[in-house]
């Protein structure tokens, strides 16, 4: 039986790591998009799983399927292990490994029906090598889903224009969509599906201050206090009373050719 939006929202509503409504809303869209693929898979690998913001809800939604999470950060994995225990999950395996060095060897002989790369493609140093490694651990009809911020459109958001130089410097490591598609098609994959997800928010005077203080932009760490105040003022002037796109993500699904 297919999961519906209410099933996913019910899980996220109780989830320990998604207290903010925005985080739940954005993640819900991704989970709904992934649910059909997960339903037809028995073994699922989450590369760059972090503390489990995607892995934990999926494992709770599909308790009879096997999930494996791989990440290099010990701090993230400690949090993930604690969350797995706290949720009483028995279908999750956690592995510490580097995407660029020997991670496939730690997976034993497991073949995966689905590999998910959620907001972590920028940590890959050698994309063609990753493509070849993924091919070795996919089942015959396996597929890979990459979800990443679409930065070309991201730059166009009104509140980001004052941060464009900083954004480009911080995000320059992330491969653009054409680079990702070319690496996988050159490596023997075909692009099966492409979906753009957007999250919009209506900004009112009461929410502006809270938003600009708590927005999880890693790029803001690169700003001085004076620069941040200028950005905050610019943000207030541009979005007050408006509904704007605050997150735009591209989800690419690849399958092996032949």
| Per-residue pLDDT, 196 | 84
Closest CA to 184 of 123, 249, 132: 132
DSSP class of 101 = B
Separation between Cα atoms, residue 206 and residue 211, nearest integer Å: 9
The residue written with tokens 């091919």 in the block is: 135
The residue written with tokens 């934990």 in the block is: 56
The residue written with tokens 């701090």 in the block is: 75
DSSP letter for each residue of 152-192? HHHTTSGGGGGGHHHHHHHHTTSPPHHHHHHHHHHTTEEEE
Find out whether 96 and 71 touch, Cβ atoms under 8 Å. yes
pLDDT tens track for 192-217: 999 888 777 777 777 776 666 655 45
Among 42-56, 93-107, 157-171, 176-190, the minimum mean pLDDT is found in: 157-171
Q: Where are the domains of the chain?
A: 5-157+174-200+247-256
Separation between Cα atoms, residue 48 and residue 52, nearest integer Å: 9
Checking if the pLDDT of 179 tops 70, the result is: yes
Q: What is the mean pLDDT of residues 75-103?
A: 90
> Which ranges of the chain would DSSP assign to H, the alpha helix?
5-14, 21-39, 55-61, 74-86, 127-137, 151-154, 164-171, 177-186, 205-214, 225-239
| Reported pTM | 0.77
Q: Domain 5-157+174-200+247-256 sits in which CATH superfamily?
A: Vaccinia Virus protein VP39 (3.40.50.150)
- Helices 177-186 and 127-137 cross at an angle (nearest 10°) of 50
* Helix, strand, coil percentages in the chain from 3-state DSSP, rounded to 5: 50, 25, 25
Among 82-91, 127-136, 224-233, 246-255, the minimum mean pLDDT is found in: 224-233
């Amino acid at each position: 039986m297919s999961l519906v939006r209410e099933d996913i929202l019910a899980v996220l509503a109780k989830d320990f790591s998604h207290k903010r409504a925005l985080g739940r809303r954005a993640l819900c869209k991704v989970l709904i998009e992934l649910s059909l693929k997960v339903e037809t898979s028995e073994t699922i690998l989450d590369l760059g799983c972090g503390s489990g913001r995607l892995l934990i809800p999926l494992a709770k939604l599909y308790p009879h399927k096997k999930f494996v999470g791989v990440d290099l950060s010990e701090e993230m994995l400690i949090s993930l292990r604690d969350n797995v225990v706290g949720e009483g999950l028995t279908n999750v395996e956690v592995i510490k490994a580097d995407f660029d060095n020997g991670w496939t060897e730690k997976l034993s002989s497991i073949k995966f029906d689905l590999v998910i790369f959620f907001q972590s493609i920028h940590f890959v140093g050698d994309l063609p090598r990753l493509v070849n490694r993924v091919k070795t651990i996919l089942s015959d009809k396996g597929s890979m889903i990459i979800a990443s911020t679409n930065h070309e459109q991201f730059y166009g958001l009104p509140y980001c224009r004052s941060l464009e130089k900083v954004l480009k410097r911080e995000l320059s490591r992330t491969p653009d969509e054409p680079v990702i598609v070319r690496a996988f098609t050159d490596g023997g994959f075909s692009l099966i599906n492409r979906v753009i997800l957007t999250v919009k928010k209506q900004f009112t005077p009461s929410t502006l201050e809270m938003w600009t203080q708590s927005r999880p932009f890693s790029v803001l760490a690169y700003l001085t206090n004076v620069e941040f105040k200028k950005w905050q003022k610019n943000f207030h002037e541009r979005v007050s009373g408006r509904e704007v796109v605050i997150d735009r993500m591209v989800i690419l699904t690849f399958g092996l050719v032949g």
